[in-house]
Homo-oligomer: A and B are copies of this chain.
Amino acid sequence: MKLFEYQAKEVFARYGLTVPPSLTALTASEAEQAAKDLECPVVLKSQVLRGGRGKAGLIQLVSSPEEAGQKAQELFDSPHGVRRLLVEKAVDIDQEIYISVTIDAEKAEAMFMLSIEGGVEIETLAAESPEKIHFEYADITRGLLPFQARDLIYRAGVEGDLAKKLIPVVIKLFSIFKDYDAELVEINPLFLTKQGELIAGDGKIMIDDNSAHRQEEYSITREHFDSDMDFEAAQDGIPYLQFDGEISLMCAGAGLTTTVYDLINYEGGTVANYLEFGGPNYKRAKRAMELCLRNRTAKVLLVVTFGTIARADVMAEGIVSAMQELKPEIPIVTCIRGTNEEAAHKTLAAAGLDPLTDTEEAVRKAVSLCRGESR
């Protein structure tokens, strides 16, 4: 689960990292008032989880409360689903630094990345100037020791007063990483002000979903999702991704689903949505189909599974009874295999469905149905 910038900065402040004075605003008039209280110039920062907010115009520097109110209204009215603004006092910047901690899976250690040229995305930096990124690794049990923080900083070429100020930032970043069961904690940019102070200009914290039970402070809200559908499915515990194509995908297993997505693209088809029907959800065919059928752009529903514990016969029965209840207007293509597949195929055939057993064949059929080629 990703935290919003304003949440990440609350965490930073709790750990003694400096963040700019700020207020949040849910309306244009709140933004105007915040700009008054903080004194301009302030920056209006749209609290959305997507990257590249600057380029998308979702961050605006304003020089008067009136301008703040006006720009805020424009942001709330934009098509980007902005529901909250962080109104932040502008900072007098001398230098921008990149610092983050994430996971190195091979080493099974926390991995720090530091670049004294921040402000760009780490992917861009890694592609264009990999030599400018400095790494350090910390064992999650032993923790990050101060000498490792120093080492990272000295290797990045930082010395003197800035080095002294950066050491606690690195150490605190690790504490946040550890305490919040994070996948990623990133400050980009970390501003060095003209007064020599280090201030977090932005903040990303991603909390591991598998640790949600011990990170109860944060819960999933509508703001975390691009669409109502994504949010509703997530509340139901059903992994769901919204696209805007023609084939509504109900698959079991992340790897198989991704592969079916590829195959649809290879065949020239497009995906309306991607719904995980495996794992604990294999008995919830009705709810799954209900969500899929809400896609008004969908021209066909494609079900592909090849499961073990998620029994084929149970899934087939679920599909058939959901069909009877929901009476879908679009055709359904099934390719259900795995445990008890013979029984599954009988059930599907009895309901008038063609129980396919080859994934590519099923994909091709779905794509041609979209084209109106057959039914």
Contacts of A55 in B (CB 8 A): none
CB distance from A58 to the nearest CB of B (A): 44
For window 139-165 of A, CB contacts with B under 8 Å fall at: 141-142
Q: When chains A and B are docked, how far (Å) is the Cα of A142 from the Cα of B141? A: 6
Q: Is the interface of A mostly helix, strand, loop or mixed?
A: loop
CB distance from A111 to the nearest CB of B (A): 20
Contacts of A141 in B (CB 8 A): 141-142
Which residue on chain B has the smallest CB distance to residue A142? B141
The quantity of this chain's copies bound in the complex is 2
- What count of chain A residues pass the 8 Å CB interface test? 2
Contacts of A142 in B (CB 8 A): 141
Which residue on chain B has the smallest CB distance to residue A139? B141
Q: When chains A and B are docked, how far (Å) is the Cα of A141 from the Cα of B142? A: 6
CB distance from A109 to the nearest CB of B (A): 14
For window 108-143 of A, CB contacts with B under 8 Å fall at: 141-142
CB distance from A326 to the nearest CB of B (A): 46
For window 62-114 of A, CB contacts with B under 8 Å fall at: none
Q: When chains A and B are docked, how far (Å) is the Cα of A142 from the Cα of B142? A: 8
Q: When chains A and B are docked, how far (Å) is the Cα of A141 from the Cα of B139? A: 11
Which residue on chain B has the smallest CB distance to residue A143? B141
CB distance from A135 to the nearest CB of B (A): 23
CB distance from A312 to the nearest CB of B (A): 37
Q: When chains A and B are docked, how far (Å) is the Cα of A142 from the Cα of B143? A: 11
CB distance from A182 to the nearest CB of B (A): 20
Sort A-B residue pairs by CB-CB distance and give the 2 closest, nearest first.
A141-B141, A141-B142
Q: 2 A-B residue contacts at CB 8 Å?
A: A141-B141, A141-B142
